[in-house]
Structure 1
Amino acid sequence: MNYRILIVGCGEIGARHLQGVLKSSLPLSIDVVDIDKESLTKARKLADEVTPGNGQTQVHYKVVLPEGQDYSVAIIATTSNVRLHVMRELLNSNHVTSLILEKFLFSFKDEYQKARNLLKEHSVKAYVNCPRRMNPHYQALKKELKKHANWQFSVVGNEWGLACNAVHFLDIYRYLFEEKELFILEDKELEPCIFDSKRGGYKEVFGRIMSLSKELSISCGHSEKMSLQVKLTSEHQEVLIDELAGTIEFNGDIQEIRPFETVYQSNLSYQFVEQSIQEEPMTLTPFEESADTHLALLDTLEKHFQLHGDTSRGREYQIT
């Protein structure tokens, strides 16, 4: 028996999901859906670069969302402005056991509650793809951080996309410190304007956001070159993660530099597919937790967008 898998949206991230899912050792029947035939063609070429982990695995490319199917896992990798619509169409016409959503989840704040209602109505387990939780280096670091208390967490860099990607670092912060309480973020140090994102039709911000307690700080500046570092500081230990350089530097009780490897989506997706099918604990972020994180960030950006953004678009937040 081949387990049914669905991927909706096969742009850059969707195609990488396809490559990753193909590496599963389980026999799969994968439906890949996109209204853009050119995107399907590109996804097929990338898929052809991968040797399937199971010789019985099949891939079917479609321009229309199937109906009446029973999917073990469905991945919605569309843009945020159509994600809820796709989610509704999918769940109203198919059975889905586990649903994987990409960030940024939704463009309107009220869509988060609508999504919650939809998941409850159809009894679907849902997760959000914030994959740093799946990185063995962050998993090992989480155990080491327990040796000290009162950590401060900061992200500094340039041109990495604060509005688009801050949710990834808010998520890894919550994961590392098992932070269950919602945090309130300040936007006082954001630059007083809205910038066009590198992806057409979406927006970006620059500057810094931080928690009221100052234990959490995330900043992104301007530069000709992208840079990104995660810094964790306690009374007796400092940890500096440079994901681009591929290093973790320890200063304090431990003095050491270790290699850090970014695990790309094409080497991750098969893991959560197999976890779901085999009913193992999922390493991705549960939807409810990630929705709260998204909303905390949106609450922070809301006034900023209203003051400096395109007010003609109402309450839509053009973040991808």
Structure 2
Amino acid sequence: MKHTILLAGSGNIGRRHLQALSALNRRLDLIVIEPGSSAREASAALLAPFSDHITLRAQDDWADLPPSVDLAIVATSAAPRRKVLESLLSATRPNFVLLEKVLFTTRRDLDECEDMLSGLGIPAAINCGRRGFHDYDRLRDELGTRRGLSMNVVGSDWNICSNGIHFLDLATHLFAEMPVSVSEAELEPEPVPSRHVGCVEFFGSLVAQMSGGGTIKLTSLRSPGVPLAIEVTHHNEKWTVEEAKGRVTYEVDGEEQYSRPFEAMMVSRMEHLYTEILDNRQSRLPSYQTSAAHHRLFIDAIRRRLGMQISEDMPCPIS
């Protein structure tokens, strides 16, 4: 069986999707929609070694698309994503849509795009890829039925505005709970420029309250040299995941009980995320509805710190 997959946006993130798809060892028709000629050429070069089972069509517009595709991946930045999604749905009918985060930067876009996809009966997931790490599944099973769990994520300059959504989702995945609020009170007052043009970042902490009573504290330190660590606590127990060092440690009352390897998996190595969508039209990644709930709390917290009026629903300058 041959699958047809459309990728909108083949910049750095888009090419990581192409790397993962090339490793599927399946017959694929890939359609890449990308306005930049250099990005299209880079995609063609990446896929050239796989021409025995992958055909590629790279173009700069939405013309002459098939009436349906098995999977559409939208890997653009946040600002143009709604326009790209609308163009996609006008040009073809995907069986499943995979969207990058930050998903959208206004509540209106979050709500109306959710209604759009739901009205067409198209399932959608958001690429918060830590749900694809097998060792996080193992940790989730270890946590079991504990309630009131908390998480502390801390490290130097890890781009909290771009990546904070990942950890709200990770907590939801590990704890089987949703955040009910996100506070910006512990962010530093002044933003700093992001690597994304026209966007901002912050140092300091965002603090989320979880439905089970625990808290999620996300801290991006201005001081350099502190590797990112994810700590999960429950009463006198603590699990510490150090993704860069490839280990997870479990302590009780401050005494180490064990340390074991932990594999942090890149998008380009998580072929299973794509096979389950293609084979079952389902995904372990967060649904649109789940991630949109995270995004609403998250972007409002950033807008409050920037002094923006929430009622005006102006775009939050993050991506």
The alignment's TM-score, normalised by the length of structure 2, stands at: 0.91
The one-letter amino acid of 1:113's match is D
Q: 1:87 to 1:107 in 2, by over 3 A?
A: same
| Alpha-carbon separation, structure 2, partners of 1:17 and 1:200 | 23
Shift of 1:69: 3.1
Quick check: 2:25–2:53 contact (8 Å CA) kept in 1? Answer: no
| 1:68-87 residue CA offsets vs partner (Å, 9 max, x unmatched) | 43110000000100001000
| 1:71-127 residue CA offsets vs partner (Å, 9 max, x unmatched) | 100000001000010000111221110000000011222111110121023221100
Are 1:183 and 2:175 matched, yes or no?
no
- SS of the equivalent of 1:298 reads helix
RMSD: 2.2
Q: Paired residue for 1:241?
A: 241
Quick check: 2:47–2:54 contact (8 Å CA) kept in 1? Answer: no
1:279-294 superposed matches below 5 A: 279=280, 281-294=282-295
Identity %: 24
Quick check: 2:96–2:281 contact (8 Å CA) kept in 1? Answer: no
Shift of 1:226: 6.0
Are 1:61 and 2:58 matched, yes or no?
yes
2-11 vs 17-26, greater mean Cα deviation: 17-26
| Alpha-carbon separation, structure 1, partners of 2:313 and 2:93 | 34
The one-letter amino acid of 1:262's match is A
| Alpha-carbon separation, structure 2, partners of 1:280 and 1:112 | 22
Q: Paired residue for 2:92?
A: 94
Q: 1:288 to 1:148 in 2, by over 3 A?
A: closer
Q: 1:62 to 1:45 in 2, by over 3 A?
A: same
Shift of 1:280: 6.0
Q: 1:185 to 1:123 in 2, by over 3 A?
A: same
Q: Paired residue for 2:218?
A: 218
The alignment's TM-score, normalised by the length of structure 1, stands at: 0.91
| 1:51-75 residue CA offsets vs partner (Å, 9 max, x unmatched) | 57xx432122111124343110000
Quick check: 1:15–1:47 contact (8 Å CA) kept in 2? Answer: no
Are 1:209 and 2:206 matched, yes or no?
yes
246-255 vs 93-102, greater mean Cα deviation: 246-255
Quick check: 1:232–1:240 contact (8 Å CA) kept in 2? Answer: yes
> Number of aligned pairs?
312
| Alpha-carbon separation, structure 1, partners of 2:208 and 2:273 | 31
The one-letter amino acid of 1:163's match is C
Q: 1:41 to 1:218 in 2, by over 3 A?
A: same
1:132-151 superposed matches below 5 A: 132-146=130-144, 148-151=146-149
Can you give the 5+ residue segments of structure 1 that lack an aligned partner in the other structure?
A: none
